[in-house]
Amino acid sequence: MGAPKKSSARVSEDHDELVRVPLQAILIADSFTTKFRPITLERPKVLLPLVNAPMINYTLTWLESAGVEEVFVFCCAHSKQVINYLEKSEWFNQPNFTVTTIESQNSVSAGDALRVIYERNVIHGDFVLVSGDTVSNMSLTQALLEHKERKKKDSNAVMTMVIKRSKTNPAIHQSRLGTDEIFMAIDPDTKQLLYYEDKADYSKGTLHLENSLLADNPSLSLHHDKQDCYIDICSPEVLSLFTDNFDYQHLRRHFVKGLLVDDIMGYKIFVHEICSDYAARIDNFRSYDTVSKDIIHRWTYPLVPDVMNFGNTTTKLERQGIYRASEISQSQSAVVGPFSVIGFGTKIGNNTKILNSVVGEGCKIGSNVHIEGCYIWDNVTIEDGCKLRYGIVCDGVTMKSGSALEPGVVLSFKVVVGKEFVVPTYSQVSLLQQPIEEDSDEELEYADSTSAITSTLDKSDGESDSELSDTHFNPASELGFGGVGYIWPKCEGGHEEEWRHSVAPITEDKILEAVKALEDELELILDGNTLPPSGELKPNSIDSDEDDNDDLRDDFDKEVEETFLRAVHENIQENHLTLEVNSLKLSYNKIAADCAGALFYAMMKYAVDMPHSSAERLTQNVQAVLAKWKKVLTSYLNDMDEQIEVILKFEEMCLESAKEYAPLFAQILHYMYNEDIIEEDAILSWEDEKKEADESDKVFVKQAQTFIQWLKEAPEEDEEE
């Protein structure tokens, strides 16, 4: 095993004097994936616009704020575009923050990139390894400290991976970022990573661990509720390991898994979990949509549009989460809905509606246009009467009058959609014909089949667009009369993936299909010994049902709350929320009463977290939330036991987590009765159950006594009438 090269700037840890080494980072600007085609055939992913700035700006802004002083940006495909952008930007002129580009035309993987960087001998100590599509606001201080302290005690501790808790949809085994469900085994005491699997075989419904893994570790925690943030703190040895092992191509599938099974060298990987900080990688169109929404909802602060003002334009935040740049021309009859972004110089015509969408700079949007859930990039022309739902529209696209985009469509640069033409769902449209795929490895984007296209586009960034627009082909049968572009035929297996990796909401029929498959699977494998989604495994602890049930209950409630909040923030339809809760119900083997209690808690927690300055305002919050989501909640309140569970959950909140509700208990209970959420029989049964309880458990029964008495007397009054 070759020793890593060392710089004279470093000194031995045995010396009393320490020479300060600047904190360095390697930023890999290549995606090495086909998931963003056809767009990335013409422009590198790191330069694609994310809300109001190229992706790479978010990554560099975070690295600078986190204390990194020197960044090496590795470029391969479209390298000239990346280098030209950085040279023209402000990143080459920042004090105490140096950005250096490293170019290689022959690299086809992250492993190749790290081997090139090793040969350049530019890394002089521990470094941060990220890709140029990373969005984060986390502090690196604690992760770096943990890494250095471990390295002092154990020279084989070469890497620390950043992870965070993340909800996975149990029906489709996929996170909200569109990534596959990851299984990790972690030592709960040392935080050493012991097992990593991102390509589990779900058809078998089982996960296989080596006997030696359990025998060699007295305790370990098995997780499938963690998100890999793809932010790594690395020792210099990591670079030499890639150089010594040319079969290491993919960072996780080859390098991480290779180290975990290598018993000879004994290198170790550890994890650092973040909680309140934000970190995510944009790996596909689904994560592009999710991270964009997170930015707009300000989970990434200070990396938000009104703070990250690049160039000469400024963006202002208005009420209802609307962001507007300057010099916008908007008709008085046009409507821009909540959580939308409108770019500099854009013009919006009469009676046009823009909902939950991002519109870039210099766009011309006609009259009677309806845009929902879309990402419209720069200099796009949308003529009168067009309809766009949940799609991506790249720079320079023209949509002729009356044309439409069905959900999931991607229109690449300068495509023209013909008059009144409807682009079918999940279509990928480009001025370029679809390349012939010769390599099925999704990690190797720029194989021989696309090298000709890549080199052509890289020859002159200023000329490539005009050359493409002059391409001669007959598009009439592709995009209607006057249309220009090719609709790419779907590859084998593409139909199954298209709904997983688009900005369109996953359709109800797909979720129902996945839930049905999950239900069938559970009937086969559930035997009463299921493991908690995130639980600690110790010798002889598998049969500890009581502890496992506690973990399951806690995790289930958290999952339901996260699902509800996502439905609120992303305007998910009620029936889709019900389907997601149903899939959680199946996954955790819960009953309707559990769902009712968890949903009610999530709704009431959201209401109390909303701004309010008085008890009256808090009551209005509750009424608004319950009114909006009543259909979902009542779908789990079909019998008395489920309704009583909600009342008990409300009591618990009043005493513990949301004491502001305590004086309003009777008033809110009365409201739920009036709205047919809780029935009279459930309220009277709840009171009856409390008769033998301690006085301390009767607080809210006594508070509601006037209302309960009215319920008892109301039927008698009806009879007398």
The whole-angstrom separation of Cα 706 and Cα 716 is: 16
Whole-prediction pTM value?
0.73
**pLDDT-based confidence at residue 522 (cuts at 50, 70, 90):** low
660 or 543: which leads in pLDDT: 660
Predicted local confidence at residue 518, as pLDDT: 61
Q: Are 610 and 565 in contact (CB under 8 A)?
A: no
Percentage of residues in the chain having pLDDT higher than 70: 79
Compute the distance between CA of residue 376 and CA of residue 360 in angstroms, rounded to an integer: 6
Q: Report the alpha-carbon distance of residue 703 to residue 684 in Å, rounded.
A: 14
Domain annotation for the chain: domains and CATH numbers: 23-288 (3.90.550.10), 312-445+464-489 (2.160.10.10), 528-720 (1.25.40.180)
Tell me what the mean pLDDT of segment 591-596 comes to.
Answer: 88
In 635-698, alpha helices (H) = 640-655, 665-674, 680-689
Q: Closest Cα partner for 530 from 520, 513, 544?
A: 544
Tell me which of 388 and 266 has the higher pLDDT.
388
- Among 91-95, 362-366, 460-464, 682-686, name the most confident range: 362-366
Residues in a beta bridge with 404: 387, 422
430: helix, strand or coil: strand
Tens digit of pLDDT for each residue in 472-511? Answer: 343 444 888 889 999 987 754 444 567 667 898 877 666 6
- Averaged pLDDT of the chain: 81
Instruction: Give me the pLDDT at residue 31, please.
Output: 66
What residue type is 116 in one-letter code? V
> Looking at residue 395, what is its pLDDT?
96
pLDDT value of position 302 = 92
The Cα-based distances of 651 to 185, 236, 396, 640, 647 in angstroms read: 38, 56, 57, 17, 6
d(CA 319, CA 335): 14
Q: Are 417 and 512 in contact (CB under 8 A)?
A: no
- Burial profile 626-644: b = 16 or more Cβ within 10 angstroms, e = fewer: beebbebbbbbbeebebbb
- Residues, the chain, total? 721
Once rounded to an integer, what is the mean pLDDT over residues 136-141?
95
Distance CA 632, CA 603 (A): 11
Strands 392-393 and 375-376: parallel
pLDDT at residue 254 is higher than 70:
yes
pLDDT band at residue 223, thresholds of 50, 70 and 90?
confident
pLDDT of 170 reads 61
Q: What is the pLDDT of residue 440?
A: 39
Cβ distance 677 to 670 under 8 Å? no
Given this model, what pLDDT does residue 653 score? 87
Task: Extract the tokens encoding 669.
Answer: 């209970």
The predicted pLDDT at position 466 comes to: 40
- Radius of gyration over alpha carbons of the chain, in Å? 28
Give yes or no for residue 311 having a pLDDT over 70.
no
For the stretch 39-80, pLDDT in tens is 888 998 999 999 989 999 999 999 999 999 999 999 988 889
Rounded to the nearest 10 degrees, what angle do helices 545-569 and 592-609 cross at?
A: 50
DSSP tag of 588: T
| Burial track 429-443 (b if 16+ CB lie within 10 A, e otherwise) | bbbbebbeeeeeeeb
The pair of structure tokens assigned to 8 is: 């004279």
Give the span between the Cα atoms of 96 and 70, in whole angstroms: 8
User: How far is the C-alpha of 667 from the C-alpha of 649, rounded, in Å?
Assistant: 16
For residue 721, name the pLDDT band (cuts at 50, 70, 90): very low
CA dihedral angle for residue 536, residue 540, residue 544, residue 545, rounded to 10 degrees: 90
| Residue appearing with tokens 């200099």 | 379
pLDDT tens digits along 27-37: 998 866 778 88
Residue 63 to residue 390: CA distance in whole angstroms: 31
Q: Kindly report which listed range (4-18, 282-296, 704-718) carries the lowest average pLDDT score.
A: 4-18
Average pLDDT score over residue span 197-223: 74
How would you classify the pairing of strands 387-389 and 347-348?
unpaired
Those residues with Cβ within 8 angstroms of residue 8's Cβ, 6 or more apart along the chain or in another chain: none
